[in-house]
């Protein structure tokens, strides 16, 4: 018994000593820990001020980077579209209204040798002869079409570029025409070149997402060349043309949508025009890029159909999962379902119909909690999202859209956790939709916008 | 000086000052405890780092229940991290066969006394514990110094309770031997007794 008492005593003494024991911590331990948790290994005295400054600076940097990128993209693409569309607007009526000449009379081209000389890529050449105008022969059944939807071109192998035709009242000036056809050596007057460049850019913007070359040349047996684009390119162009002729310049939009959130945005109207299917002239004269009218052929060009769009509020439902990466930095990924509906009214008297687009999206990004109190936390974050259209219709026509829609978002938000893993959040979000849809949507109209999102968050 | 509660609240908010305060206050204590378990300073440093990284990232799961609760929470993390470290090094896998390599424990009459233990400085005691074989050291730390039961030890280490009890007896015997030997070699016993005469 005595031995047992002694036994317990020495163990108790040993326990007391061991429990109170301290041991020197090797140098560099704190720095290694701080590095592991993603923190500045700042001394205590500096920690009072520095972390807040760093957080604020980092938060501002995240927002600034995304916003700058968004503005850069916003200020380029939409501006180009607007400018080009204006050109189209200005010129279209004169083309439509103009009675095409049936003679081969040629008039001098408008040239600007000074401007041409400044551009090394466009050699200055004296203009020679020009056709007075060109002819466009409509597809046989086009005039009788009453469909209110844009024209589909699935069965058209080669068609004239209606947009090109609409933009050129004056015939294209071809000078120094080589013996053998070589489109690279054609020289045009400066006005044509500038318009052509704008036009090409417009198509390039519209189609670069599909890596599709809109321009194709068609040369007949007399080496007559027509600028054409093929059926697939035209189909995209048809859709794009409804987008690139805006009624209003895109502005900042306060819209609200999100995971289960129902809210409103302002209505907007965008006019668009569809391409028209035209055939090459029957007897084009030599030396013309676009042929003058064939004798005896009466032009019959239907005016382009314009559409007014009334976009309904997009609805998005989604679920987001957040996973702590290190410290207060979280990675997040989710799954979104978005429905976008628009009322479309053609201006040719056709019935109003609906455009309906449904998308599945995967958002992914990072979120940094910079303040936390009990269950409430605030955060900044950057996010990307890729979406794919799972169903789309334009009236009765089903539309297949294979291109992915990419977008970037900068967020500042707050979250309140009911439990350890589940909470609700609200986040004002600055969004930019990088890629556009071939159908006109609110996102196409306002690729850069500010919105509000609410939802359920699962942290794990 | 921040209170334990303020430290825990600050750490939950990700406050750098609180995180540093947590480290400054508890790292020497945890370093000693971890050293007792892993038996090596370099390994103890690594385990200490892991302990604090876990603590910072899991601080949301900590619920303050009065003074001392944060230290107790950190201690549990440190002990579990130490055991995981030993498992990862497979030092505990041979726990059950370690007994075969050790001589029978000395007679109980040869055990140390509280006076002898008190005559030693803390670092010496820590080093003596650290020098025990891995399995014995682990059971001794868990049972004698950190208050685990044999049932809990058996669950933690995947051994049966009898084995835990047996290894504890051997660990105590070895430690008593070490203490006596150290005191004899350094003539501490006489010095200590002289102080109380």
Overall average pLDDT of the A389-412 stretch: 86
B114:A9 CB<8 A: yes
CA distances from A158 to A288, A400, B112 (A): 18, 21, 103
More confident residue, A282 or A24: A24
CA distance A294 to A119: 35
Task: Show which of residues 44-83 on chain B sit within 8 Å of chain A, judged by CB atoms.
Answer: 44-45, 48-49, 52-53, 56-57, 60-61
pLDDT greater than 80 at residue A421: no
Residue A193: what pLDDT?
Answer: 54
Same domain, B82 and B112: no
In three-state secondary structure terms, A140 is coil
Cβ–Cβ < 8 Å for A328, A369: yes
**Domain extent at residue B170:** 95-196
User: Tens digits of per-residue pLDDT, A242-251?
Assistant: 443 333 333 2
Residue ranges with strand state E in A111-171: 137-138, 158-160
The predicted-structure confidence for B81-135, as pLDDT tens digits, reads as follows 998 888 887 655 545 444 444 445 554 546 788 888 888 888 888 889 998 888 8
State the average pLDDT over residues A205-214: 44
Would the CB atoms of B60 and A420 count as touching at under 8 Å? yes
Same-domain status, B101 and B78: no
B32 pLDDT band, cuts 50/70/90, is: very high
Nearest to B45 among A13, A26, A43 (CB): A26
Residue A37 has pLDDT above 80, yes or no: no
Residue A133 pLDDT > 60, yes or no? no
**Which member of A18, A22, A39 has the closest CB to residue B28?**
A22
Within this chain, do residues B79 and B118 fall inside the same structural domain, yes or no?
A: no
What's the confidence (pLDDT) of residue A124?
Answer: 35
Least confident of A27-41, B30-44, B88-102: B88-102
Query: CB contact, 8 Å: B40 with chain A?
Result: no
Same domain, B58 and B146: no
Contacts of B32 in chain A (CB under 8 A): 18, 21-23
Measured CA to CA, the distance from residue A47 to residue B13 in angstroms comes to 14
Contact criterion met (CB < 8 Å) for A20 and B44: no
Instruction: Kindly determine whether residue A9 and residue B57, on different chains, have CB atoms separated by under 8 Å.
Output: no
B137-156 exposure pattern, b = at least 16 Cβ within 10 A, e = fewer: bbbbbbbbbbebebeebbeb
A383 vs A129, more confident: A383
Asked if A372 and B13 come within 8 Å (Cβ–Cβ), the reply is: yes
Chain B residue numbers touching A422 (CB-CB < 8 A): none
The yes-or-no verdict on residue A424 having pLDDT over 60 is yes
pLDDT of residue A385: 93
- pLDDT over 80 (residue A151): no
Whether pLDDT at A312 is above 80:
yes
What is the pLDDT averaged over residues A77-104? 32
Q: For A340-368, write each residue's pLDDT tens digit.
A: 899 988 877 778 889 999 999 999 999 88
Please tell me the least confidently modeled range out of A81-95, A172-186, A323-337.
A81-95
Tell whether the model's pLDDT for residue A407 goes beyond 70.
yes
Residue finishing a domain among B54, B88, B122: B88
Residues B71 and B144 placed together within one structural domain of the fold: no
Nearest Cβ partner for A6 among B44, B113, B123: B113
pLDDT of residue A408: 93
Number of folded domains that form chain B: 2
Residues B186 and B160 in one domain: yes
Name the residue in chain B with its Cα closest to that of A9: B114
Examine the domain organization and report whether B141 and B169 are in the same domain: yes
**Which one is predicted more confidently, A422 or B101?**
A422
Quote ipTM for the complex.
0.83
| pLDDT at residue A365, rounded to an integer | 92
User: Regarding predicted confidence, which is higher, A158 or A424?
Assistant: A424
Residue B122: per-residue pLDDT: 87
Across the range A158-175, mean pLDDT stands at 40
**pLDDT digits over A256-277, tens only?**
223 322 222 333 322 222 222 2
One domain for residues B103 and B192 = yes
* Range with the poorest average pLDDT among A28-32, A62-66, B63-67: A62-66
CB contact (8 A) between residue A10 and residue B113: yes
Give yes or no: residues B63 and B100 share one domain.
Answer: no
Whether residue B31 has pLDDT greater than 90: yes
Q: Which of B132, B141, B140, B143 has the alpha carbon at shortest distance from B101? A: B132
**Beta carbons of B28 and A23 less than 8 Å apart:** yes
User: Looking at A111-184, which runs of residues are DSSP E strands?
Assistant: 137-138, 158-160
Q: How many angstroms separate the Cα of A2 from the Cα of each of A14, A18, B105?
A: 18, 24, 19
Same domain for B130 and B67: no
Nearest residue of chain B to residue A326 (CA atoms): B57
Q: Measured between CA atoms, how close is B8 to chain A, in angstroms?
A: 12
Provide the pLDDT confidence category of residue A235 given band limits of 50, 70 and 90: low
**Distance from C-alpha of A270 to C-alpha of A306, rounded to nearest angstrom:** 9
Among B88, B113, B130, the domain-final residue is B88
- CB contact under 8 Å between A21 and B117, yes or no, is no
Final residue of a domain: which of B40, B56, B88?
B88
Q: Residue A326 forms beta bridges with which residues? A: A329
Contact B125 A43 (CB under 8 A): no
In angstroms, the separation between the Cα of residue B14 and the nearest Cα of chain A is 7
Cβ contact, residue pair A10, B114, below 8 Å? yes
Mutation for testing the A interface, residue in B12, B14, B175 having most A CBs under 10 Å: B14
Give the model's pLDDT for residue A170: 40
Q: CATH no. for residue B33? A: 1.10.1740.10
Predicted pLDDT at A55: 57
All domains in chain A, ordered by first residue: 81-254+277-298 (no CATH), 308-459 (2.40.160)
Mean pLDDT confidence for A107-115: 34
Nearest Cα residue to A374 out of A326, A324, A429, A417: A417
Under the banding of pLDDT at 50, 70 and 90, the label for residue B65 is confident
- Predicted pLDDT of residue A104: 38
Q: What pLDDT is stored for residue A115 in this prediction?
A: 32
Q: What angle do CA B7, B13, B16 make, to 5 degrees?
A: 65
Q: Which residue of A has its CA nearest to B147?
A: A15
Specify the CATH number for the domain of residue B173: 1.10.10
Q: Is the pLDDT of residue A221 over 70?
A: no
Same domain, B73 and B100: no
Average pLDDT of every residue of chain A: 58
Please check whether residue A332 is in contact with residue A364, taking contact to mean a CB–CB distance below 8 angstroms.
yes
Whether residues B174 and B191 fall in one domain: yes
């Amino acid at each position: 018994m005595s031995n047992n008492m002694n036994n317990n005593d020495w163990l108790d003494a040993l326990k007391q000593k061991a429990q109170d024991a301290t041991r020197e911590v090797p140098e560099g331990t704190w720095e290694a820990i701080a590095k592991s948790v993603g923190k500045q290994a700042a001394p205590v005295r500096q920690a009072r001020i520095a972390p807040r400054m760093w957080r604020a600076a980092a938060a501002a940097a995240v927002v600034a980077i995304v916003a700058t990128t968004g503005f850069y993209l916003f200020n380029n693409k939409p501006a180009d579209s607007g400018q080009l569309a204006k050109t189209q607007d200005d010129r279209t009526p004169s083309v439509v209204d103009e009675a095409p000449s049936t003679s081969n009379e040629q008039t001098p081209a408008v040239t600007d040798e000074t401007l041409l000389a400044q551009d090394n890529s466009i050699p200055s050449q004296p203009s020679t002869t020009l056709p007075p105008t060109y002819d466009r022969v409509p597809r046989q059944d086009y005039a009788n079409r009453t469909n209110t939807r844009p024209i589909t071109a699935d069965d058209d192998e080669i068609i004239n570029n209606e947009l090109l035709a609409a933009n050129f009242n004056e015939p294209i000036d071809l000078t120094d025409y080589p013996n053998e056809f070589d489109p690279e050596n054609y020289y045009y007057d400066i006005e044509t070149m500038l318009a052509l460049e704008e036009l090409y850019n417009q198509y390039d913007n519209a189609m670069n997402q599909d890596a599709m070359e809109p321009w194709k040349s068609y040369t007949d047996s007399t080496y007559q060349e027509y600028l054409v684009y093929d059926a697939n390119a035209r189909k995209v162009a048809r859709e794009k043309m409804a987008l690139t002729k805006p009624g209003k310049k895109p502005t900042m939009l306060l819209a609200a949508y999100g995971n289960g959130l129902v809210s409103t945005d302002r209505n907007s109207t965008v006019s668009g025009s569809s391409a028209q299917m035209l055939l090459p002239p029957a007897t084009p004269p030599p030396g013309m890029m676009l042929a003058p009218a064939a004798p005896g052929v009466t032009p019959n060009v239907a005016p382009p159909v314009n559409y007014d769009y009334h976009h309904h509020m997009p609805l998005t439902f989604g679920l987001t999962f957040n996973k702590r990466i290190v410290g207060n930095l979280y990675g997040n990924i989710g799954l979104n379902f978005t429905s976008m509906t628009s009322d479309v009214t053609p201006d040719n008297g056709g019935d109003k119909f609906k455009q309906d687009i449904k998308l599945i999206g995967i958002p992914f990004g990072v979120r940094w909690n910079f303040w936390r109190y009990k269950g409430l936390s605030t955060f900044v974050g950057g996010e990307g999202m890729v979406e794919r259209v799972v169903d789309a219709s334009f009236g009765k026509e089903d539309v297949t859209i294979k291109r992915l829609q990419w977008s970037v978002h900068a967020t500042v938000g707050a979250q309140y956790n009911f439990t350890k893993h589940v909470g609700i959040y609200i986040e004002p979000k600055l969004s930019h939709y990088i890629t556009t849809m071939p159908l006109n949507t609110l996102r196409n109209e306002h690729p850069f916008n500010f919105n509000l999102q609410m939802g359920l968050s699962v942290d794990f | 000086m921040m209170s334990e509660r303020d430290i825990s609240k600050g750490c939950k908010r990700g406050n750098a000052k609180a995180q540093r305060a947590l480290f400054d206050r508890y790292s020497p204590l945890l370093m000693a405890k971890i050293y007792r378990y892993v038996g090596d300073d370099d390994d103890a440093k690594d385990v200490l780092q892991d302990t604090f990284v876990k603590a910072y990232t899991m601080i949301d799961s900590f619920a303050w229940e009065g003074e001392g609760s944060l230290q107790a929470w950190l201690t549990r993390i440190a002990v579990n991290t130490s055991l995981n470290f030993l498992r990862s090094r497979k030092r505990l896998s041979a726990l059950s066969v370690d007994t075969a390599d050790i001589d029978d424990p000395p007679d109980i009459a040869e055990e140390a006394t509280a006076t002898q233990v008190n005559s030693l400085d803390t670092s010496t005691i820590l080093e003596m514990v650290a020098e025990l074989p891995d399995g014995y050291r682990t059971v001794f730390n868990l049972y004698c110094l950190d208050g685990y039961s044999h049932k809990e030890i058996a669950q933690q280490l995947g051994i049966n309770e009898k084995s835990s009890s047996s290894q504890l007896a051997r660990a105590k015997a070895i430690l008593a031997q070490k203490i006596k030997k150290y005191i004899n070699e350094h003539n501490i016993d006489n010095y200590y007794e002289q102080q109380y005469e």
